[in-house]
Structure 1
Amino acid sequence: MNNINRNIFLAALMGISFGLFLKIYPLWSLNNAFLEANVIIGQLFINSLKMILVPLVFFSIVVGVSNLGNSKKSSTIWKYTLLYFFSTMFLAIFTALIIMNLVKPGIGITVDSWPEAKNAITSSLSIMEFLKQFILGLFVNPFQSLSSGNILPLIIFSILIGASFNGGGTKIQAGKKVFESLYEVIMRIVNWIMMFAPIGIFSLLVTMVESQSSELFSQLSIFIITVIGIMLIHGLLIIPTLLFIITKISPLSLWSNGRPAFISAFATSSSAATLPLTLSVACNTFKVPKSIANFVLPLGATINMDGTALYEAAAALFIANLVGIDLSLSQQIILFFIAMVASIGAPGIPSAGMVTMAMVLQVLGLPLEALALLLPMDRLLDTFRTTINVEGDLVGSLIVQKVTKL
């Protein structure tokens, strides 16, 4: 993970530097020839992401949902755990949308090298008409919908297939193993694409910087500060307040006793790598029963991604501002839903946010070239995202213990 993140970061620095060089010292015909080749390389990277996006979303959601039924814990723990996970993700995304609509970073700036946004989701309908069409549009032929760039029916279809694998006989479990094997195949292709990512990021950034005014980069710093501020509000105010209201555990107790897990999350940017420490803190320090901790925390490391969900919602609004689209209320409802689904389905690979962010942009009809702008800051923001994710998991185990009285 560190090598990929480092290579992407170095490629981003080189791409920005070389783009500035070409902007200040144009190389005439050589410059034009290089830029044309550069555009081809960048588009090849974007097209490879588009190629793998649909099968990755399909198989990752099928496998993820099918694995949710393997636990033998009681229905009471299930109910409160999922209620907590979705409630905190709701609060995270809602907070992100409110603050991003107030701050509005990127307004008035355009990125000349990006293609025109497709603005795939219409804003001309009333709220009731929109909700009617949206709900009916979820249950259509998923393969036909893909030809029009509508990925939401595929997500619903994936959830239904994954749910059908929960329980069942030998034949159904054999089918589940087929999907798990195909998921591993897709992940192998994703890893190949990730090896090409630094070159693709370099090419996209050279093209963008060479044709872009410096105003974009001042807006980028405003966006980074805004996102970190949203994460701090969620992690230092919303989650601790929820914990205190339900369990009477103070925020200071949470942060001091949970410090080993939080520091590990910040350093590794991996909820999965931090899981052993999180389990130790929950069971040994907070005395959460193993029957709860061993269920809530591994499940949370897979699907409870508050930090990821709020970041993807904020990033999508930022990109919409840059391409001059003012997302309506109905469009932001779509963004709300897809950010939650994308964060739940995030695969456990380095820079997984690139893949899930691509899904969010695709649904909204926004240019995937925006990934070149988001990836250089991804390592910094990922440390905050993961810390928020781990804090949410730990708090979830404490709240579930309290409400189930186990």
Structure 2
Amino acid sequence: MGFFRTYSSLFWLLAGIIAGSIAGMIFGEHIAVIKPVGDIFLNLLFTAVIPLVFFAVASAIANIDAGKKLGAILGIMSLVFLATILISGFLTIVAVWIFPIHQEITLSHDTNITQPGNWGEQITKLLTVNEFYELLSRHNMLPFLIFSGLVGFASMRAGQAGQAFRNFLHAGNEVMKDLLTLIMKAGPIGLGAYFAYQVGTVGPQLFGTYAHSLGLYYGFGIVYFFAGFTFYAFVAGGINGVKIFWKNNIIPSLTAVGTGSSIATIPANLEAVKKMGVPPEIGNVVIPLGASLHKDGSSISSIIKMTVVFGMFGRGFDSPSVILLALAITVLVSIVEGGIPNGGYIGEMLVMSVYGLPVEALPPLMIIGTLVDPLATILNATGDNVASMLVARFAQRSRDAETQRNFIKSGE
């Protein structure tokens, strides 16, 4: 009974998803009538996520002791994000060499595709907005995260004068987490309706004419999900770290595939990393930032999309300069893409711009990016959990090393 009580939320979530999938297969496109149920659930989730991210990030930074702690966490986090993105991208290149993609694809000749602006405009739009209210849209998550971090940093610097505001941020964080808990109680119904609609209307056309590239993505992505994340968890905590990670990564994985959004998975991830033993001051910073900046799934898909269009236009994908540039693009795409479904169009135009590809390359990039979205979202979202474990591990090592140095100095 204790086992079922512990995992009751997981069982209910699975029951809702299975029931919705069966209904989708039975009723087909007629199941679209219940789509508003899933939409209402997702809208509630998206609406609540915005204030949760603000309070989580601002509160975490505001309540860190002034000094080197925040800088150390952000520095280690950046290195972990960069390392996992590059590892996933490089391993994908190896997989493409082993299983080369030879796919006949009919190109679209639509000349009305919007071209990317100059780099200055793109960077400005990526990092900032020109009106405060635009920060409150999930489409501007990176500027919103920057603003939340600055508010937290200013609160930390305010010292005693900012104590009341720091208390407000902490209380707001607790309230918003409880609100998300209430909304997630409707998860079995909301996600069940969403799965029913997807299975009934989209499922049969999942692979289409891009079966080879999609097969490679899903095949390698699944291997990376289990083998790669297991390796990272082992580095973070040994055998016990592997057990703790997979025990608590199930609900975030189901939430990610059900919502199709890294942003919407933030609440499940925050709860999961707490159970994984990640300190709140690390989890509350790494998880929200990772939703916008850390995307192993997008790294894998960007490499596969590049190899497809290279083959379509008769270009080789094997020279050192091409490979190094491709790895650099995977990092940029991970930052550019938003944590929402089909948020990679800007990243795909970035690929076209850097490599000088014609506009005919955009349709296949968009189609592949859309069809790999379910697994990409799982990798993007749940990769933040194992990244949090790694950051916690390396931050602890850094603190231990600093303690050792201080001990040696005190004895001199």
Q: Normalising by structure 1, what TM-score? A: 0.59
Q: In the TM superposition, what are the counterparts of 1:239-278 in structure 2 within 5 Å? A: 258-269=238-249, 270-275=272-277
Displacement of 1:202 in angstroms is 1.0
| Alignment match, 1:184 | 174
Partner SS, residue 145 of structure 2 = helix
Greater relative contact order (Cα < 8 A, sep 6+): 1
> Which residue, 79, 87, 91 being the options, matches 1:87?
79
Match status 1:313 vs 2:313: no
Partner SS, residue 45 of structure 1 = helix
Q: Evaluate the alpha carbon distance shift between residue 207 and residue 36 of structure 1 in structure 2; reply closer, same or farther with a 3 A threshold.
A: closer
Q: Deviations over 1:194-220 (max 9, x none)?
A: 011111111111111112344538858
| Alignment match, 2:393 | 394
Match status 1:39 vs 2:31: no
Q: Deviations over 1:99-132 (max 9, x none)?
A: 568879xxx9xxxxxxxxxxxxx7613445533x
Partner SS, residue 163 of structure 1 = helix
Q: Deviations over 1:135-178 (max 9, x none)?
A: 6x526333245469433332222111111111534441111112
| Alignment match, 1:52 | 48
Q: Evaluate the alpha carbon distance shift between residue 400 and residue 177 of structure 1 in structure 2; reply closer, same or farther with a 3 A threshold.
A: closer
Match status 1:173 vs 2:168: no
Separation (CA, whole Å) in 2 of partners of 1:42 and 1:149: 20
Partner SS, residue 65 of structure 2 = coil
| Alignment match, 1:226 | 221
Q: Evaluate the alpha carbon distance shift between residue 190 and residue 220 of structure 1 in structure 2; reply closer, same or farther with a 3 A threshold.
A: farther
Q: Which of 199-208 and 384-393 deviates more?
A: 384-393
Which AA in structure 2 matches 1:272? K
| Alignment match, 1:202 | 192
| Alignment match, 2:25 | 20
| Alignment match, 1:336 | 334
Separation (CA, whole Å) in 2 of partners of 1:101 and 1:134: 31
Separation (CA, whole Å) in 2 of partners of 1:194 and 1:19: 22
Separation (CA, whole Å) in 1 of partners of 2:387 and 2:201: 36
Displacement of 1:337 in angstroms is 3.1
Separation (CA, whole Å) in 2 of partners of 1:211 and 1:199: 18
Q: Deviations over 1:312-339 (max 9, x none)?
A: 6244578999xxxx9x999966653378
How much is the aligned-residue C-alpha RMSD, in angstroms? 5.3
Q: Deviations over 1:40-74 (max 9, x none)?
A: 1121112212322322222222112212x237xx7
Separation (CA, whole Å) in 2 of partners of 1:227 and 1:189: 33
| Alignment match, 1:7 | 12
Q: 1:149·1:362 contact (CA, 8 Å) conserved in 2?
A: no
Separation (CA, whole Å) in 2 of partners of 1:144 and 1:90: 28
Percent identity over the alignment is 15
Q: 1:61·1:155 contact (CA, 8 Å) conserved in 2?
A: yes
Partner SS, residue 185 of structure 2 = helix
| Alignment match, 1:285 | none
Displacement of 1:12 in angstroms is 1.6
Runs of at least 5 residues in structure 1 that lack an aligned partner in the other structure: 24-30, 109-121, 241-253, 279-296, 343-356
Q: 1:223·1:318 contact (CA, 8 Å) conserved in 2?
A: no
Which AA in structure 2 matches 1:91? A
Separation (CA, whole Å) in 2 of partners of 1:148 and 1:237: 29
Number of aligned pairs?
323
Displacement of 1:85 in angstroms is 2.7
Runs of at least 5 residues in structure 2 that lack an aligned partner in the other structure: 1-5, 97-102, 104-113, 250-271, 304-308, 310-324, 348-365, 406-412
Partner SS, residue 202 of structure 2 = coil
Q: Evaluate the alpha carbon distance shift between residue 143 and residue 360 of structure 1 in structure 2; reply closer, same or farther with a 3 A threshold.
A: farther
Which AA in structure 2 matches 1:204? Y
